[in-house]
């Protein structure tokens, strides 16, 4: 019986500590990674006020060879972000942060949904990073990839 209690207490302790460690890891992420993550989560949940706080007035979204606009202030988007996303990594030119690569993200245009890698373009202004673009080379569902 005491082994069973010890196992239960261990599971409870681990399940309590893991979320706290995840929050601490997010707080320690560089500011450009935090901004990109805030952008993706806000876009995925269509939280327009949060989106306005991290995105440019107009964000260009490229899906394959098609170009769309995301306008947070107007609460307008022809492209929807499909959660979850994973794998954020910094793109630099020398010491300057230029963007973020996303290992996997889902984008939905109309009824077509694609998943794959993407690039988030950032612009630094007054010490803050702003999302100005999102692009993916993935063809839209139903299209053949270039050969």
Where exactly are the structural domains of the chain? 2-136
The closest of 75, 96, 74, 79 to 133, measured between CA atoms, is 79
Instruction: Give Cα 120 to chain centroid, integer Å.
Output: 8
Whole-number Å distance between alpha carbons of 23 and 10: 21
62-118 pLDDT, tens digit per residue, is 998 899 999 999 999 999 999 999 999 999 999 889 999 999 999 999 899 999 999
10-69 pLDDT, tens digit per residue, is 776 656 655 554 444 445 789 999 999 999 999 999 999 999 999 999 999 999 889 999
Would you mind telling me the total number of residues written for the chain in this entry? 147
| Residue 55: per-residue pLDDT | 95
125-135 pLDDT, tens digit per residue, is 988 999 999 99
Give the predicted TM-score (pTM) of the model. 0.74
| Residue 1: per-residue pLDDT | 55
Q: Selecting from 3.40.50.360, 3.30.70.260, 3.10.450.50, 3.30.420.40, what CATH number does the domain 2-136 have? A: 3.10.450.50
Whole-number Å distance between alpha carbons of 56 and 9: 48
């Amino acid at each position: 019986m005491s082994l069973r209690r010890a196992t239960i207490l261990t599971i409870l302790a681990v399940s309590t500590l893991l979320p706290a460690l995840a929050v601490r890891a997010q707080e320690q992420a560089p500011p450009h990674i935090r901004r990109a993550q805030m952008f993706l989560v806000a876009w995925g949940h269509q939280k327009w006020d949060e989106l306005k706080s991290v995105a440019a007035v107009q964000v260009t979204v490229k899906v394959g060879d098609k170009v769309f606009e995301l306008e947070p202030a107007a609460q307008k988007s022809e492209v929807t972000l499909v959660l979850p996303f994973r794998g954020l990594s910094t793109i630099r030119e020398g010491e300057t942060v230029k963007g973020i690569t996303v290992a996997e993200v889902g984008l939905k245009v109309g009824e077509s949904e694609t998943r794959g890698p993407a690039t988030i373009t950032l612009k630094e202004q007054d010490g803050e990073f702003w999302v100005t673009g999102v692009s993916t080379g993935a063809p839209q569902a139903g299209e053949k990839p270039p050969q």
